[in-house]
Amino acid sequence: MSDSSRKARNPLILAVLIGLGFHSFPVQAVDDDSAILQLRQAFQPTESAPNKETGLALDIARHFYPAEVIKAFIDTIHNAGGTFLHLHFSDHENYALESAVLNQRAENATQDQYGVYINPKTHKPFLSYAQLKDITDYAKSKNVELIPELDSPNHMTAIFDLLEKEHGKPYVQKIRSKWTEEEIDITNPDSIAFVKSLITEVVDIFGDSSRHFHIGGDEFGYGVDNNHEFINYANTLAKFLQEKGLKTRIWNDGLIKATINQLNPDIQITYWSYDGNPQDEREAQRRRKIRMSMPELIERGFSVLNYNAYYLYFTPEEGAATSHDSNFATRDVLKNWDLTIWDEQNPQNKIKDPHKIMGSALSIWGEHAGSLQSDSIQKYTAPLLTAIIYKTKATDNRDETNRRLRLLTENDFASLDSTTYIDLLQLKNHAFIALKNNRQTVRLLQENKLPERKITFWLNGSDKQKIQLNPHWRKTDHVQQRDGKDYQAYDYQGNTLWLDKTIEISDP
């Protein structure tokens, strides 16, 4: 549900296997990240709001995350005091779970060298039942709820593809919308029966690790005259889920003034955008005229979570060799966002009472991640996720929180020691990395893959920065000057790091 500027989603084809974010070693959340440690000191003395739900929405459909990386995200959520992991596993590009209903089975799949299951018909990865059991058990041990999202009526292409391979085109055409090939027919009893069967399977997979189920409801086509059809569909699924002991969550796109009185009031809303960020300004204004705002939903008694698509969306980009973008997003959240800001950057229509807001989430979308490794994304975003959780839970003591934040953010975050990660697989040969002019600790990622590359790169900085350098980087006799600064060469299996001599070296 975003692009690099945190805008609305555009479907892209998943990258080939090398681009799916696979890794070859266990991943753990980095609990000694310098920024996270400072955030903990700033926020933990502050009394937190006990009833706020806050966590992460992770798109595993368009960028696959293996079980170990998902567990590392769970660690970050748990360590920050978050409550849930919302898994977006179905979209146009992929259905990322094993499924008997869709005949995507581990027993019929191939496995790559890292244990990832690959559907031989679609060539797409998925989590097996055993891997999902491992994830659900781990989440329960960390007291983090898993919230599955089966997205409909749009974002159905991957499901349709699997159904066509199993049942043929006529079956798919029978349940597909007559108006668009990407949506299911929400007025067709057979379509609804199919969605219920898939929901049942997912509910059984996630078991007692879930108390909520997200039914999607974003970016689909409707008009004011036929919106009641979507409301009926949402109510039908909510009643079905209620019978299974689960509360329903839904995106805000289809909730309009004309039909809101018909919506089941027990449905919880994940509010990401007032207008969906269309390119056409007139269309944006039209949507704002007919849609329910977040304050209007709250005043009608709905439980709403803030998923603000500007501050709380992050879309990793293939080729992002450093964590500069996520570090910037972390500072932006710390300085400019709080739970009451829901309409992108607009502070004018803030929600007056933060206690009426159910919570918030960071959303990490995968459509542009390409070959960026999944464990790199996890490390890049851990401080951002931590900052959002802390700011959400500090709602009850904002004066004290703001005082601590002012100390942290003054003089352009001069006191914040950020961790800057460098993904060595994303670096171009002869890349020149200039560190931002603030305190930073640099860590290198994907070093185990370097023997495959043979690259040279430069790291420029100052005495404000240090780098954690593993001992396998051998200091050489080579020194070179560039733009008036001295650089020392370090070698690792034919790869060369030219390090600014003013940057301090520390042990990992």
Pull the structure tokens for residue 157: 């292409």
The residues that bridge with 291 in the sheet, in sequence order, are: 256
**Catalytic residue from among 219, 283, 400, 447:** 219
Pull the structure tokens for residue 504: 């301090």
Apex CA 115: angle with CA 113 and CA 120, to 5°?
85
3-state secondary structure of 62: coil
- How many C-beta atoms lie closer than 10 Å to residue 464's C-beta? 16
Pull the structure tokens for residue 65: 């995350």
3-state secondary structure of 472: coil
Known catalytic membership, residue 504: no
DSSP summary character for residue 57: E
- What CA–CA distance (Å, rounded) separates 195 from 174? 13
Pull the structure tokens for residue 313: 């969306």
* Cα-Cα-Cα-Cα dihedral sign, residues 3, 293, 394, 338: positive
Q: Which residues contact 44 (CB under 8 A, 6 or more apart)?
A: none
- What CA–CA distance (Å, rounded) separates 122 from 226? 35
Q: Which residue pairs from 129-134 have beta carbons closer than 8 angstroms and sit at least 24 positions apart in sequence? A: 129/98, 129/205, 130/106, 131/66, 131/67, 132/67, 132/97, 132/98, 132/205, 132/206, 134/67, 134/71
**CB of 149 closer than 8 Å to CB of 87:** yes
What is the 3-state secondary structure of 179-207? CCCCCECCCCHHHHHHHHHHHHHHHHHHH
- What CA–CA distance (Å, rounded) separates 156 from 13? 14
- What CA–CA distance (Å, rounded) separates 425 from 136? 31
- What CA–CA distance (Å, rounded) separates 178 from 184? 9
* Cα-Cα-Cα-Cα dihedral sign, residues 187, 193, 194, 197: positive
Catalytic residues: 219
